[in-house]
Structure 1
Amino acid sequence: MTKLKELIIGIIKDKASQSKAALLSKPTKLFLLRVTSHDTFSPPTPKHLSTLISSADGSRATASTFLEILMDRLQNTNAAAVALKCLIVVHHIINHGSFILQDQLSVYPSAGGRNYLNLSNFRRNTNPTSWELSSWVRWFAQHIEQLLCTSRVLGFFFVGNSESSSERVSGLTNSVLLTEFDSLVTLVEGICKRPNHVYNDDDKNKNKMVDEIVNLVCEDWVVIEREVCVELSEFKERLGFLEFGEVVELVCCLKRLEDCREKVMMNLVDSEALWDLVSDVKVKVGLEVYKDKGRVRKEGRKLRFSESHRFSARVLDSRDFLRFPSGRLL
């Protein structure tokens, strides 16, 4: 009875909110209310998502107003289904939104921060389904927050980018490359904390909205894995040109990545190529010997310095668009 009562209340709320938006002639808000209904088991349809994003596309003022409405709905709801659907909209913007929408999202809130969406304490325990969905709200919000943070570190919304980053990473300094790699590993670690699937008590079928979220994150993983492999390949070429502290930082990141292997292989479309590359880089890191004054190989021959190393101490601004070649280009 509790679940039925909550469902009826949700339907009434949706109808009332949509009627009010229609009367006030606010089409964007009406589209948002339709996309983020209280229906617990059905995700937003591609058609409704497309219509919503189209209504918000235009000037910066339009995009900014839309994001304020979206975030207000996300922050003020206590319904897990509504929160998840709002997060799906945010994820859609990250992957498929226009430059203006993505730009406005990247500066919201203006201070940024780790608790970007402020949903780490989201809990709804009116029934078992709401309680379990709450864990998905917290996890998916954390994933989106880390996507935004990593995109800031890389300088662009990388999950929506289909081009290879090989040329881009070859121009990064060692310190910048390590910062990017650390952020990517943190993203992988967050994905591995995924909750268990939610089931409908009536037919034991998996919740379709949860399935949609799992599919979205699996699509993200394809791009994340590609980016990790690109940066690992670049490290493989630079191993002779890393400072001792940089090697220690790289080893720590590799260890964290390896700790994710089991859950990645269980929950995601996995490629052995990634783990072969991780193992290969670890072996090559183990063969390097570093001393306080200059670097030497085990047989005593000095290693030459790359342009990346010579400029590694400089602070670069992403606005400078400077490129420094890696050791493999010498």
Structure 2
Amino acid sequence: MAKLRDLIGVMKDKASQGKAALLSKRATLSLLRATSHDSFTPPTPKQLSTLLSFGDGSRTAAAAAIEILMDRLQKTQNSAVALKCLIAVHHIIKHGAFILQDQLSVYPASGGRNYLKLSNFRDNNSPISWELSSWVRWYAQYIEQLLCSSRTLGFFLGSKSSSDAESQEERVSGLMNADLLRETDALVTLIDEVGRKPDCGSTKGNRLVEEIENLVGEDLDSIMKEVCVRLKEFRERLGCLSFGEAVELVYELKRMEESREMKTMVVEQSFWDAVREVKEKANQEVVKEEVKAYKTVRRHRASESDRFERSVLNSADYLRFPSGRLLL
């Protein structure tokens, strides 16, 4: 039965590719070849390269390629096709020309949370397709968070635009504290999303899953570089954080310490020493501000009490004055 379904999938691919070839739809043909029904083989580098080449032409061609890709992703009920579409999206984020990335970042026009709409994806045609369905749901959510975090940072994480460490340090040094905290939150949130990936289970050794894990692993390297740049910058700014900013920084650093994914991938003790150092100093700033606020409140209450006492004494004086006069 499973072999029959695989055969039907191959026949569908051939029929769709033949129709696209007859109609001279190059973008459609390239996409169909890269997103076949084969549950074990990821798109080839050549197929992905052909897809990425649509970023070298006009904006119209790039928009058409993204539209075809997203339509196939939304309409398919096959887990392998969905994963390959998501792999193609991931490659556009990492390696695509700006014109392709730009079209991807604004699709669809309505925007909004979970616009990939795959949180309820189920393919129960076979045990392997059922296992891959959980990867579709998680990978779609991860790609969405990757796009959201990239919007916050102003560049696509893991792309060539984020590879120049020196220019990133210069950019980060010019950020306001609030923007720096917002970017740190976006990075930690993305790491948290990586930690939610499914267990391999029966998909262990599946090349499609291995390709996804490799791509996400490369992203994690880029994400951690960005986190380290911001951690270094916060160390320089500890003396000029407001109370609220210091509280938020402590919260983000605690999230890092509690992140299972970060504990697994970051073995350098120097990183964790830096996190602990910055957190302790930020905590000191929080305590300092709390003490200052407490003293201010006490002074205010003391002055109110003093004014109240003076008003009571003055009233007593007025009361005693006539009684003294009567004694005379």
Give yes or no for TM over 0.5.
yes
1:121, distance to aligned residue in structure 2 (A): 1.3
Give, in whole Å, the separation in 1 of the partners of 2:34 and 2:57.
20
Paired residues of 1:28 and 1:56 also in contact (CA < 8 A) = no
| Amino acid across the alignment from 1:163 | D
1:269, distance to aligned residue in structure 2 (A): 6.8
1:248, distance to aligned residue in structure 2 (A): 1.4
| Amino acid across the alignment from 1:110 | A
TM-score scaled to structure 2, two decimals?
Answer: 0.83
Query: What secondary structure does 1:42 align onto?
Result: coil
Within the alignment, does 1:106 sit opposite 2:105 as a pair?
yes
Larger Cα-atom Rg: 2
1:181, distance to aligned residue in structure 2 (A): 0.7
Give, in whole Å, the separation in 1 of the partners of 2:164 and 2:79.
35
Within the alignment, does 1:290 sit opposite 2:293 as a pair?
no
Matches within 5 A, 1:80-229: 80-160=79-159, 161-164=162-165, 165-199=168-202, 206-229=205-228
Give, in whole Å, the separation in 2 of the partners of 1:229 and 1:99.
26
Paired residues of 2:55 and 2:98 also in contact (CA < 8 A) = no
Give, in whole Å, the separation in 2 of the partners of 1:80 and 1:277.
42
Give, in whole Å, the separation in 2 of the partners of 1:88 and 1:67.
13
Paired residues of 1:41 and 1:209 also in contact (CA < 8 A) = yes
1:277, distance to aligned residue in structure 2 (A): 2.3
Give, in whole Å, the separation in 1 of the partners of 2:266 and 2:235.
24
Question: Measured at CA, do residues 273 and 194 of structure 1 come closer, stay the same or move farther in structure 2, by a change above 3 Å?
Answer: farther
1:153, distance to aligned residue in structure 2 (A): 0.6
Give, in whole Å, the separation in 1 of the partners of 2:43 and 2:126.
22
Paired residues of 2:246 and 2:283 also in contact (CA < 8 A) = no
Give, in whole Å, the separation in 2 of the partners of 1:10 and 1:270.
44
Give, in whole Å, the separation in 1 of the partners of 2:157 and 2:16.
36
Paired residues of 1:93 and 1:102 also in contact (CA < 8 A) = yes
| Amino acid across the alignment from 1:5 | L
- Unpaired segments ≥5 residues, structure 2: 294-328
Question: Measured at CA, do residues 294 and 240 of structure 1 come closer, stay the same or move farther in structure 2, by a change above 3 Å?
Answer: farther
1:51, distance to aligned residue in structure 2 (A): 1.4
Q: Which structure has the higher relative contact order (CA within 8 Å, separation 6+)?
A: 1
1:270, distance to aligned residue in structure 2 (A): 5.1
Paired residues of 1:18 and 1:30 also in contact (CA < 8 A) = yes
Give, in whole Å, the separation in 2 of the partners of 1:276 and 1:215.
28
Give, in whole Å, the separation in 1 of the partners of 2:30 and 2:133.
24
2:308 corresponds in structure 1 to: none
The alignment's C-alpha RMSD in Å is 1.8
1:132, distance to aligned residue in structure 2 (A): 1.1
Give, in whole Å, the separation in 1 of the partners of 2:111 and 2:180.
22
1:292, distance to aligned residue in structure 2 (A): 6.8
Matches within 5 A, 1:175-324: 175-199=178-202, 206-260=205-259, 262-266=260-264, 268=265, 271-288=268-285, 289-291=287-289
After superposition, the C-alpha distances for 1:207-257 in whole angstroms (9 at most, x for unaligned) are 011001000000001100000011111111111111111111111111222
Query: What secondary structure does 1:120 align onto?
Result: coil
Structure with a larger share of its residues in helix:
2
Paired residues of 2:138 and 2:196 also in contact (CA < 8 A) = yes
| Amino acid across the alignment from 2:275 | V
TM-score scaled to structure 1, two decimals?
Answer: 0.83
2:307 corresponds in structure 1 to: none
Question: Measured at CA, do residues 227 and 243 of structure 1 come closer, stay the same or move farther in structure 2, by a change above 3 Å?
Answer: same
Matches within 5 A, 1:29-108: 29-55=28-54, 57-108=56-107
Give, in whole Å, the separation in 2 of the partners of 1:85 and 1:211.
12
Percent identity between matched residues is 59
Aligned residues: 288
2:312 corresponds in structure 1 to: none
Give, in whole Å, the separation in 2 of the partners of 1:272 and 1:144.
30
2:323 corresponds in structure 1 to: none
1:322 corresponds in structure 2 to: none
1:264, distance to aligned residue in structure 2 (A): 3.6
1:131, distance to aligned residue in structure 2 (A): 1.2
| Amino acid across the alignment from 1:34 | R
Give, in whole Å, the separation in 2 of the partners of 1:292 and 1:231.
25
1:55, distance to aligned residue in structure 2 (A): 3.9
Within the alignment, does 1:16 sit opposite 2:19 as a pair?
no
